[in-house]
C-alpha cells in the first residue's frame, strides 16, 4: 500500500513548511504601503446622553 509509505509525504510536509515559514513571510514583508498610519484627533469629545423617545 503506497499510502502508508511515509518517506515521500514527510519530505513534502517539510518542503511545504519551509515554503510557509521562509519564502512567504519574505514576500509579504517586501510590500510597500504608501499610506503611513496617522494619529487621529486627541481631543476629548463630550458624550451626550441618549434621549429615549418613549419616556
Q: What does the pLDDT read at residue 23?
A: 83
Mean pLDDT for each 10-residue chunk of the chain (55 residues)? 70 90 83 76 78 74
Q: Which three cell numbers stand for residue 36?
A: 503611513
pTM tops 0.75: no
Q: What is the dihedral of CA 15, 18, 19, 25, to 10 degrees?
A: 170
Q: What does the pLDDT read at residue 55?
A: 59
Judged by DSSP in three states, 41 sits in coil
Q: What does the pLDDT read at residue 15?
A: 92
Q: What does the pLDDT read at residue 2?
A: 59
- Work out the mean pLDDT of the chain and round it to a whole number: 79
Amino acid at each position: 500500500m503506497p499510502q502508508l509509505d511515509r518517506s515521500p509525504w514527510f519530505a513534502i510536509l517539510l518542503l511545504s513548511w519551509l515554503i510557509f515559514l521562509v519564502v512567504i513571510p519574505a514576500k509579504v514583508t517586501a510590500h510597500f504601503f504608501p499610506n503611513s498610519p496617522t494619529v487621529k484627533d486627541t481631543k476629548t469629545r463630550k458624550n451626550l446622553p441618549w434621549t429615549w423617545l418613549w419616556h
